[in-house]
Structure 1
Amino acid sequence: MNGFALHLLRHGEPEGAGRLIGRTDARPTAAGIAACVDRTRNIASEALISSDLSRARLAGDAISLATGMPLSIDPRWRELDFGAWEGMAPGDVTGAALSRFWDDPDDHPPPEGECWSALVDRVTLALNDLTARPTLIVTHAGAMRAALAVLCGFDTRQTWAIDLPYSCLLSLRVWPSEEAGRRTAAQITGLYP
């Protein structure tokens, strides 16, 4: 099997950029939406999916309008829920707590927030439901990192070592497993900041 192209696009710059805005439904800026449309202008895909949060969904709507491809909404592609830290600037979070989170987001999630493994689990379910055809997903940096963990076997530190700025495009070649119990595999084919 030749595999299929999977393109993960981080939403464009939202209102409140630079803050921890996981579940917060921050609206995208007009420039952020335009950057997403421009970034995907030469992407050949047969399916278009986005997170249900406005900063991803509105970019997905604009891409759908530009390409004529229908948009499917899937909330499993949402960002990590930052709980009590939602809307805070990273500098406003107690330094030790934020450091513990970055070091081990599963054992030290944000207070009342989502742990890393929960994000990975829901992204895994979303990936498992993809049809093996060229697909473009408008999503969030955390969900993109979770996909890298699932598809490429990266650990948390490795996924967070990859810079994923607003409107960046991460392209992969995915080979779905045809054997029960065997993991889907992928290779990064491009990262376009």
Structure 2
Amino acid sequence: MTDFALHLLRHGEPERTGLMLGRTDCASTAAGIAACVDQAGDLGIETLISSDLIRASHAASAIGRTLNISVTRDPRWRELDFGAWDGMASADLDPEALGRFWNDPDAHPPPGGERWSALVARVSDAIAMLPPRPTLIVTHGGAMRAALAALCGFDQRQLWAFELPYAALLSLRVWEGQPRSAQITGLYA
């Protein structure tokens, strides 16, 4: 069975922290971008993909310049859309509504926001279209968890057992098939 390496890299620390950053676009700090470049150093990638949000795409561009690889931007790798909560601090939200969301983001999405299953579906679609060669995707914590759900079968509650800080690198071995499946080979925070 054919397999390939897939590396998922969370963007570096954003300039605005402590907020529900889904579709809200803000840049990463210079140190956050540098941390991403450091993580990508010796992966031996042939394909470089990024979310189209600047906190991910700027890091991908820096990686691409360092490795002399072009970047493809794909909006399917965006973070979950937090709807009316997007760009707000968690402390400013109704704690009961926020708790229901964290416990079951599919049954209790943010007002006007995206359901967990919709995020998993769009990330699954992006995974199905990946070329079977060593790939790095610079993305977001939610999209990384959605990829684990799609490729490894983790349910939403299990996914919160993985800490994915800024610039965390999650490496997988992906096997061809319908659907594709994977094994985690490393998590570097």
User: What's the CA shift for 1:93?
Assistant: 1.2
What is the TM-score when the length of structure 1 is the normalising length?
0.96
User: What's the CA shift for 1:190?
Assistant: 0.1
Alignment correspondent of 1:41:
41
- 2:79 is the counterpart of 1:75: no
Kept after mapping to 1: 8 A contact 2:14/2:27: yes
Q: Distance in 1 between matches of 2:2 and 2:169?
A: 21
Alignment correspondent of 2:184:
188
What is the TM-score when the length of structure 2 is the normalising length?
0.98
Alignment correspondent of 2:160:
160
Unaligned ranges ≥5, structure 2: none
Q: Distance in 2 between matches of 1:86 and 1:174?
A: 32
User: What's the CA shift for 1:61?
Assistant: 0.3
Q: Which amino acid aligns with 1:186?
A: A
Alignment correspondent of 1:111:
111
Q: Distance in 2 between matches of 1:55 and 1:190?
A: 23
Alignment correspondent of 1:127:
127
Identity %, equivalent residues: 64
> Alpha carbon RMSD of aligned pairs, Å?
0.8
Aligned length: 189
Q: Distance in 1 between matches of 2:18 and 2:159?
A: 19
Unaligned ranges ≥5, structure 1: none
Q: Distance in 2 between matches of 1:108 and 1:151?
A: 24
User: What's the CA shift for 1:183?
Assistant: 2.5
Q: Distance in 1 between matches of 2:160 and 2:176?
A: 24
Q: Distance in 2 between matches of 1:72 and 1:97?
A: 36
Q: Return structure 1 stretches of 4+ with deviation > 4 angstroms.
A: none
